Amino acid sequence: MCGIAGELSPKGLSPRPSGFYDHILHTMVRRGPDQEGIYLTDCCALLHRRLAVIDPERGRQPMTIGPYTIVYNGELYNTEDLRQELITRGIQFQTHSDTEVLLQSYITWGTAAPGKLNGIFAFAIYDANQRALFFARDPMGVKPLFYTQRNGCFYFASELKSLLSFPEIEPEVDSRGLYDLLFLGPGRTPGFGVFKNIFEVIPGSCGIFQDEQLNI
């Protein structure tokens, strides 16, 4: 189990106090007690807490290849099949991790990559050239992924408490959220994140955020 979070603001990230992203990482420490990492540019922040299993040193995240950077929580059951297929296409691997296989799959097949994955996953990949964020969740919905938008910015996280650590996101519960809490709990309406204007990526779905536009 790992934890991921991040924000993308095409107009530039809001100024953050010292230790801000460390605090968000701390909210996910139970999901990934072994390692943590931050990828930060003028408009994008990607955060990762890792439970290290495969290739602990070289499989660190966020992982960057060219303009692409990934944060990933999950396990691919067809890692070796994908690796061999990519090798036949001339891809040279630097690690034994499924993270690199997943990232190279996206670089090779683009938005069609999730359809080639057999596993449980939630991930986000930032394209620095296009200033775009692609994200996806496994068909069974085993790995969680929540998101919201505020003033042209996109935020995501494995857990609600991590998402609510961004000061732009108010923990407001409306009548729909109360219904889920009081009548459905511990279940929830599919795709709904309890708090107002916070959503969960529907299992088997993916999306792209670019130029302040979100397409699921």
Active site residue 2: yes
Kind and range of the H or E run holding 133: strand 132-137
Picking from 18, 56, 17, 19, the residue whose alpha carbon sits closest to that of residue 34 is 56
Q: Which one of 2, 44, 153, 206 is the catalytic residue?
A: 2
Using CB atoms within 10 A of its CB, is residue 105 exposed (0-12), middle (13-18) or buried (19+)? buried
Sign of dihedral through CA atoms 140, 4, 75, 103? Answer: positive
Distance of CA 161 to the CA centre of its chain: 15
Catalytic residues: 2
